[in-house]
Structure 1
Amino acid sequence: MAISKKPFAALAVAALATTLVACGGSDGDNGGGSKSEGTAGGNAIFYNGVRNTEHWDPQRMYIGRDLNNSGRLFYRSLVAYPASNDPVKGTTPIPDLATDTGTSEEAGKVWKFTVRDDVKWEDGKAITCEDFAYGASRNFATDVIIGGPANYLFTYLDIPTGKDGLPEYKGPFKKTGQDLFDKAVSCDGNTITYKMKKPWPDFPQSIASLRYLDPYRADLDKGDASNFQIISNGPYKLDGKWTEGTGGKFVRNTNWDAKTDTIRKALPDTWQFKEGDTEETIYEQFLAKTGDANFGVTERRMPPTFYSRIAEAGKLYTKVESPFVDYVLPNFNSPVFKDIKCREALKFATDKTAWINAGGGERAFTPAYSAVNPSVPGYEKNAAFGDIPDNGDIEQAKAALAECSAPKPVKIKFTYSGGTPTSDKQASALKAAWDKAGFKTELDPLADTYYSVIQKPDADFDVTWGGWGADWPSIGTVIPPLFDSRINITPSSNGNDYGNYKGGPEVDAMIDAAYAETDLTKAASLWAGVDAKLGEDVAYIPLEITIFNFLHGSKITGYSNNVSTNGYADLATIGVTK
């Protein structure tokens, strides 16, 4: 899942859970924050900061912050992760809208779930099996439902692939190939059946980790116009409309029945989501311990300028190792970076030490040598990056740039998730190193939105920033979602393949072989081989592994950075003191 850092994302993976820690005060362990139990009532605030929510449409969401928050407040699915920081319990799905965690047949090629008969939408209508089938179908409308993790269904669901490399079913709006979908996803009363092309043993994990298989109301679907429409089946519902750049208010959903929900405590009476505040403003308010911020939480990381005040924060401070890796991507549609020598020059010129220092140093990051987090089973350091000094190799960069076919000086535009002093400082650090090697870099910060811009295949940039964490503990939830062009690139979107990388028949065959391998150890080795090829092609350049430094309001209770929410604040347990 994409990172909201600048977007953060993804749900926690079991392998990472063993390394995820949270500290209070002056780095003293407090188990993840305030463990005091709250009581019902009061009003809580979530600060999105300057990184706006880009989608509330469940089939379009792929940002960890928004996946986590929506799944704790207003969206439910067949199964979900419990609110736990236990490495095993917190990453093991439990029933949510289903009666159990599903049954598999044919060695994992068929999965069945039974929908509870006592759960409702916010308007009182029953949640049906057909709502789940319709939600799944929306993923195939690739001209409308853009940006989500539909790639998993394209890969596994038993629907033929057309000449365009995409499924022959084109979604519920066009209805082309509807019979193909109806054979793959079907309802028998309250029981929904999913038929796969090949075994998918961790299918329940994909449901719990993402929102793409959430139910959706066909009678309320407005396509792209539904992007900020929230049809709740959880404990809260949107009061009025969501305003991009400002936020929205969530109030209690009277048609949610707590007896059907073992996960969400739903303690506050309301949740106010606020957009537009800088990280500096948010953290200054937390430290002041006065006003509305006392009742607030955020996923915006502490600015480095506040590190000297951590002792002042006391138990309001938590430090969490994250599952996310940041990287930059050459745009393969750029005239400059069609040339491998130009990409190699960028690789050698990239100074990850300067990037890390500009972002807060070792308290905020550790160097990365792959797009895969080391906590993911099968991780291997990518040889294409492992031998390059962390501060780059300017001489090798200059040598490669001399062979680059682009006119000199080589002008490039770096589009990144900006709008904060820290992100702009980090971008400037990369620019300084690139320019020293002979590039002439233009910085292009995007503040209000980011992914919706860079996901356009014709977007005007030469280099962009990305961040990712495994959707669950498999390299197969990192490499294909990011670099399999067959499931990403369409005329209207590049999906998560932000650099528009097309590996061609060789890489496609390597990916298919890794998917086909049922032995998990052997599969991990095959995925590492794909990653090595990506390194040879300079499909991406790794920067660092993110460390979270958070504060929260002094009136917040039940605060915990759970593995079940990827190290973010788990809104399922939070309350406020009145």
Structure 2
Amino acid sequence: MNKKSYSILAVAVAGSMGLAACGGGSSDNKSGGSGAEGSGGTLYYLTKKPAEHLDPQRMYIGRDLSNLGRLTYRSLVQFPVTEDKAKADKPVADLATDTGKMSDGGKTWKFTIKDGVKWEDGKDITCADFKYGLSRTFATDVITGGPNYAIGFLDIPKKGDAPAYNGPYKKEGQAEFDKAVTCEGKTITYKFNKAWPDFNLAVASLRAFDPYRKDKDKGDKSNYAIFSNGPYKLQGTWKKGTGGTFVRNEHYDAKTDGVRKALPDKIEFKEGLTNEIINQRLIADGGKDKSAITDRSIPPSMYGQIKGDSQKRSVNVESPYVDYLVPNFNKMKNLKVRQALLAATNQDAWITAGGGDKAFAPSYSIINPALTTAYAKNPAFTDVPKGNIEKAKKLLEGVPASEKNIKFTYSGGTPTADKQAGAMKDNWEKAGFKVTLNGLTDTYYDVIQNPKADGDVFWGGWGADWPSASTVIPALFDSRLNLTEKSNGQDYGNYKSDEVNKMIDEAAKKTSVDEAGEVYKQIDKKLGEDVAYIPLEIQKFYYLRGSKVTNYINNPATSMYPDLGAIGVSK
């Protein structure tokens, strides 16, 4: 997932746990807040990047998956609130009575919905709501940007290269969907065309399988509309670039929730603040900022200020996300040019410009080392740490000047990001490229998911959606998931390889995680030979928090972002 959820710890590696804390399970307070330390008050969440999607079926950024899964969107199963990494990736029941019943070798899953679980208007959550929520995923021309696993797994026949079903708005192929997802009372049954033994991990990691009320659906106009079934509801509207405020949901019953603590009475999100301003405020620790947290790492220029009290309020953790580059295969078709780009890439320069070892750890694969069954250092990337300018120059000999003009598109807008891009440009130009930098400052992934996006090289970040390379390699490089003219899924470089697609199918047939891992190692090697991507680093998070923040933990189940299922504020 795009700096989207993690379940490696447990993520989306992009990309995703026994019960350590319950959401007021023994309390009679139906609005949550069990009287534990940190119950009540207002928590402030300070950030820069606006949420791209708050629609559960479109959401695919780790921060937002983690936050909304704790605040407003409950799932059949959920990862527990815990710091224990050994428990963190083991789902527990949430809206379902248990963690699901698998049959037919993993091709069929059944869940029964709990009694007493309701939407924010007091109506019961039904099996039909779950079925409708999943159906929206198939409307790929409307519900764009989200995870599309269901499209490949549900037992729905193909119509050409696409599923015969095209979602609830056009309803073509509705009968086929109705066979694959069935309701009998409170029990929902999913039938897949191939084994999906870790389906409940996918449900816990992603919001795509969450329920959605048909009468609340306005298609693409629902992107920032939140209709809650969790402990909080949105007060008023969410304003992109500004944020929104969440307050208690009076129809939430904590006795049905064994996951969330739901401690603060109110949580205010403030978007549009720079990393520098956020961390200056947290270092100063005054007023409301004493009750504030953030998802924005401390900028390297401020490292020297983290001492004494502020150091005690900081945490530096390795994330599940691997940052990488992808050449745009629609434009950079010459293998020698891609090889030259790889040779001229200096990982050390990128890491140094980004803040050094407090900000990043080196990477040698698109697969995070935490995925031990599938990880191996990719032999194609032995030169990446320092780069090899002379090798790059030799590869570019005789290449037309037009093929050496490249536009580098990255998630910009911060001094650190722009400094890193500048360091990359310097090394590429030493090799003979002419580089234009294109730092996007508003939304990012929704731009580069357009196959016609203007760029020769794109930056990306990914972590496993749950602990399997099956949530990394196929999501990023299976060209058959490029479902529309408007979206390449997560294959931002528009890479297409019949050989890789065939090997992905081979890996999917393996019943052993270890056996599948060996196939993924070979796929990764092939991707390196094609220069389908270039690894940059494993991102580390360096966070500050206010002095009144209590029960602070990072969410190892999805992303290592602050876990709103645990955090509270003192009076």
Q: Report whether the alignment pairs 1:465 with 2:459.
A: yes
The superposition leaves residues 427-455 of structure 1 with CA deviations (integer Å, 9 ceiling, x where unpaired) of 10100011111111111111121111111
SS at match of 2:536: strand
Aligned to 1:92: 90
Alpha-carbon separation, structure 1, partners of 2:547 and 2:523: 47
How far apart, in 1, do the equivalents of 2:536 and 2:9 lie?
A: 23
In structure 2, the partner of 1:338 is 333
Identity of aligned residues (%): 57
Give the SS at the match of 1:56.
Answer: coil
CA distance in 2, matches of 1:371, 1:395: 25
Aligned counterpart, 1:300: 296
Alpha-carbon offset, residue 374 of structure 1: 0.8
Equivalent AA in structure 1 for residue 229 of structure 2: N
Q: Distance in 1 between matches of 2:513 and 2:476?
A: 20
Paired with 2:362 and 2:138, the residues of 1 have a C-alpha distance of 37
- 2:481 is aligned to 487
- Residue 72 of structure 1 is matched in structure 2 by 70
Match of 1:286 in 2: 282
Q: Which residue of 1 aligns with 2:509?
A: 516
Secondary structure of the 1:271 match is strand
Residue from 343, 347, 350 that aligns with 1:348: 343
Deviations 1:60-88 (A, max 9, x none): 11100000000011100100011011122
Partner of 2:50: 52
Decide whether aligned partners of structure 1 residues 15 and 169 sit closer, same or farther in structure 2, where only a CA change above 3 A counts: closer
CA distance in 2, matches of 1:113, 1:404: 58
User: Residues 358, 37 of structure 1: CA spacing in aligned structure 2 closer, same or farther, 3 A cutoff?
Assistant: farther
Moved more, 308-317 or 85-94: 308-317
Q: C-alpha offsets along residues 294-339 of structure 1, whole Å, 9 cap, x if unaligned?
A: 11111111111121122231321111111110001111122xx011
Code of the aligned partner of 1:119? V
Give the letter for the 2:7 counterpart.
A
Which secondary structure state, in structure 1, belongs to the residue aligned with residue 239 of structure 2?
coil
CA contact (8 A) 2:47 2:278 kept: no
- The 2-side partners of 1:569 and 1:560 are apart by 6
- In the alignment, what sits opposite 2:109? 111
CA shift, 1:37, in A, is: 5.5
Counterparts of 1:389 and 1:486 in 2: how far apart (Å)? 29
Match of 1:569 among 528, 545, 562: 562
8 A contact 2:409–2:437 mirrored in 1: yes
Q: Does 1:211 align with 2:211?
A: no
Residue of structure 1 equivalent to 2:553:
560
Cα 1:435–1:199, aligned 2, differ >3 Å: closer, same or farther?
same
Residue pairs, 1:500-511, within 5 angstroms: 500-503=494-497, 505-511=498-504
Q: Which amino acid aligns with 1:142?
A: T
* Cα drift, residue 162 of structure 1: 2.6
Give the counterpart letter for 1:2 in structure 2.
N
2:420 is aligned to 426
Structure 2 residue 323 is the aligned partner of structure 1 residue 326 = yes
- 2:370 is the counterpart of 1:371: no
Distance 1:207 1:407 in 2: 46
**CA RMSD, aligned part only?**
1.5
Instruction: Give the counterpart letter for 1:311 in structure 2.
Output: K
Q: Distance in 2 between matches of 1:402 and 1:162?
A: 46
Q: Which moved more, 1:412-421 or 1:304-313?
A: 304-313
Indicate the residue corresponding to 1:2 in structure 2.
2
Pair 1:525 & 2:518 matched = yes
Instruction: Name 2:26's counterpart in structure 1.
Output: none
The AA in structure 1 aligned to 2:141 is D
Q: CA deviation at 1:543?
A: 0.4
Deviation digits for residues 204-250 of structure 1, max 9, x if unmatched? 00000111100001111111110001010001111111100101111
Does residue 153 in structure 1 map to residue 154 in structure 2? no
Alignment partners' CA distance in 2, 1:291 and 1:453: 38
Q: Which amino acid aligns with 1:217?
A: R
For residues 59 and 533 of structure 2, the distance between their equivalents in structure 1, rounded to whole angstroms, comes to 23
| Structure-2 change in CA distance of 1:416 and 1:344 (3 Å) | same
Deviations 1:17-52 (A, max 9, x none): 9xxxxxxxxxxxxxxxxxx96242111111121x11
Match of 1:30 in 2: none
Deviation at 1:488, TM superposition (A): 3.1
Determine if the alignment matches structure 1 residue 535 to structure 2 residue 528.
yes
- 2: distance between equivalents of 1:363 and 1:268? 31
Q: Tell me the CA shift for residue 518 of structure 1.
A: 1.2
Deviation at 1:292, TM superposition (A): 1.9
- TM score, norm. by length of structure 1: 0.92
- The equivalent residue for 1:477 is 471
Distance 1:70 1:238 in 2: 11
Q: Distance in 1 between matches of 2:38 and 2:503?
A: 53
CA distance in structure 2 between the partners assigned to 1:156 and 1:237 by the alignment: 32
**Structure 1 residue 567: deviation in Å?**
1.6
Match of 1:253 in 2: 249
1:464 Cα offset (Å): 0.8
Asked whether 1:392 is paired with 2:387, we answer yes
Whether contact under 8 Å (2:11, 2:558) holds in the other structure is no
C-alpha contact 1:412 1:461 (8 A) present in aligned 2: yes
Q: Aligned residues, how many?
A: 547
In the TM superposition, structure 1's runs of 4+ consecutive aligned residues that sit over 6 Å from their partners are none
Give the 5 Å matches for 1:440-455: 440-455=434-449
Counterpart for residue 19 of structure 2: none
1:195 is matched with 191
Q: Distance in 2 between matches of 1:522 and 1:549?
A: 36
Given that 1:56 and 1:230 are in contact with CA atoms closer than 8 Å, whether structure 2 keeps it comes out as yes
**Partner-residue secondary structure (3-state), 2:330:** coil
1:475-519: CA deviations, max 9, x gaps? 11100011111113421111111111111x222111111111112
1:411 aligns with 2:405: yes
CA distance in 2, matches of 1:100, 1:186: 18
Is residue 42–residue 265 contact of structure 2 (8 Å, CA) maintained in 1? yes
The residue matched to 1:413 in structure 2 has which SS? strand
Q: CA deviation at 1:14?
A: 4.6
Question: Matches of 1:454 and 1:448 in 2, distance apart?
Answer: 12
Q: Distance in 2 between matches of 1:419 and 1:147?
A: 22
Alignment of 1:167 with 2:160, yes or no, is no
- Cα distance change of structure 1 residues 232 and 200 upon mapping to structure 2, 3 Å threshold: same
Matched to 1:282, the amino acid is I
Deviation at 1:264, TM superposition (A): 1.3
Letter in 1 for 2:40: G
- Shift in alpha-carbon separation, 1:16–1:407, aligned structure 2, 3 A: closer
TM-score by length of 2: 0.94
Contact 1:166 1:486 in 2 (8 A): no
Partner deviation per Cα, 1:186-218 (whole Å, 9 max, x = no partner): 100100000011111111000001111000011
Cα deviation, residue 155, structure 1: 2.3
Q: Cα distance, 1:389 vs. partner?
A: 4.7
> Residue 242 of structure 1: SS of its match in structure 2?
strand
CA contact (8 A) 2:39 2:570 kept: no
Give the Cα separation in 2 of the matches to 1:154 and 1:142.
Answer: 10
Distance across 2 between alignment mates of 1:473 and 1:403: 45
Q: Secondary structure of the residue that 2:393 maps to in structure 1?
A: helix
Q: 1:426 corresponds to which letter in structure 2?
A: Q
Question: Aligned to 2:85, what secondary structure does the other structure show?
Answer: coil
- In 1: Cα distance, 2:505 partner to 2:453 partner: 29
* Deviation (angstroms), 1:379: 0.5
The amino acid across from 1:88 in the alignment is: A
Q: Which secondary structure does the structure 1 equivalent of 2:47 belong to?
A: strand
Amino acid at match of 1:543: L
5+ residue gaps, structure 1: 4-8, 18-35
